[in-house]
Amino acid sequence: MSVPVAPVKLLAVLAALALGACSTVEKLNPFGSSGPKVKPAELAAIQSTAELRSAWQVSIGSAGEFAFSPAVVGDSVYAAARDGAIARFDGGRQVWRIAAGQPISGGVGSDGKLVVVGTPKGEVLAFDAANGRELWKARVSSEVLAAPAVTDGLAIVRSGDSRIFGFDAVDGKRRWVYQRSTPTLSLRSNVGVVTAGKVTLAGFPGGKLVAIANNNGAAVWEVTVALPKGATELERVADVTSSPVVSGSTVCAAAFQGRAACFDSNTGNTLWSREMSSSAGLDIDNRYVYVTDDKGAVHALDRNSGASIWKQDKLALRSLSRPLALGSYVAVADYQGVVHLLRREDGAFAARATTDGSAVRAEPVRFGAGVLVQTANGGLYALEAR
């Protein structure tokens, strides 16, 4: 059973778990009417020490009930919307825009040659990145909620039932499929996959992180980010619902009701782990690992040991995105489309930028020296940090 969950207000989930309420899954849905009403932290005025300015902004179309993330390849941005719109923007200028002819349910994947999206019916649609011309179609076993990855001659697509498919980038023929057993109860999320060299990294329900060989779909290694624990199935939900991050020979991941942990990307050996529940995810630079926890706090942890460096808790319950390391700063977005810039060294607020007032549900994307966010209402905002 897959339980809907989104970056918006996981307090409903935590309350249900605390009560041991397993009679209905509605209590796990943050959008459900039966969930407790909580008030996010109000934004206090800040004294800006940096600038977060808009380089450009465009509109692609509403995300509806889904979470859409754009793909960035060089100066080109590929984005999609719920109604089937797909477009390419170079420097904020629209190069082409097409209608897929059916609804789209996940973000965009691209390598600059191929553009790939998925649909609620499990169709995979591939287009020419140069002009938007349709190239091929394929099918997976269930809805596609995450952005595909395009690399190594493959279009790698994750379906809603946690199967990973590898399709030939030229003709769309299926090369392999990876699947593993999952717990009876899991969170429905838009988590995708991350490619690193010759492997694809994917987190799974039950707290597992797997490296999958791109050439044949076989598992290279499997590690445990978090172990399910508790008396009820709800208490034992410990899913990796955000993308792992890779830096050099280090890969890090976080789990809901579990831990943040880093591993050797070659062997899967654990470098360190610590208790921390996160559904939004993390990022890494050459000194720190940054984690957004499920109470809306942003943490900086020592990259080598996992020791706490600082914690910014003034954004509680604002449904924060994963943090994004941007040189001397860390960016994070919230449910009102506000993008916050934190100082890397101490987590203090450095700058703030507003978008269109709607939520940033998907993970922000690094774009040059700044950040690119796509809002629920369909705004694409390229922001530069200075």
Which is it for the CA torsion 232, 234, 235, 237, positive or negative?
A: positive
Q: Global pTM?
A: 0.90
Instruction: Give how many domains the chain has, as a whole number.
Output: 3
- Shared domain check, 144 and 125: yes
**Spatial distance between the Cα atoms of 43 and 47, rounded to a whole number of angstroms:** 12
* Residue that terminates a domain, selected from 154, 174, 189: 189
Please write the tens of the pLDDT for every residue from 39-66.
999 999 999 999 999 999 999 999 999 9
- Shared domain check, 78 and 60: no
**Spatial distance between the Cα atoms of 226 and 121, rounded to a whole number of angstroms:** 31
Please write the tens of the pLDDT for every residue from 180-237.
887 777 788 889 999 999 999 999 999 999 999 999 999 999 999 998 888 788 888 8
**Spatial distance between the Cα atoms of 373 and 381, rounded to a whole number of angstroms:** 5
Per-residue pLDDT band at 25 (split at 50, 70, 90):
very low
- Shared domain check, 179 and 80: yes
CATH for 316: 2.130.10.10
Per-residue pLDDT, averaged over 108-129, amounts to 98
Q: What pLDDT is attached to residue 255?
A: 96
- Residue 49 resides in a domain: yes
Range of the structural domain that residue 375 is part of: 44-66+278-386
Per-residue pLDDT, averaged over 109-138, amounts to 98
- Shared domain check, 80 and 112: yes
- Residue 263 resides in a domain: no
Report strand pairing: 365-367 vs 370-374.
antiparallel
- Shared domain check, 171 and 79: yes
What is the chain's mean pLDDT, rounded?
90
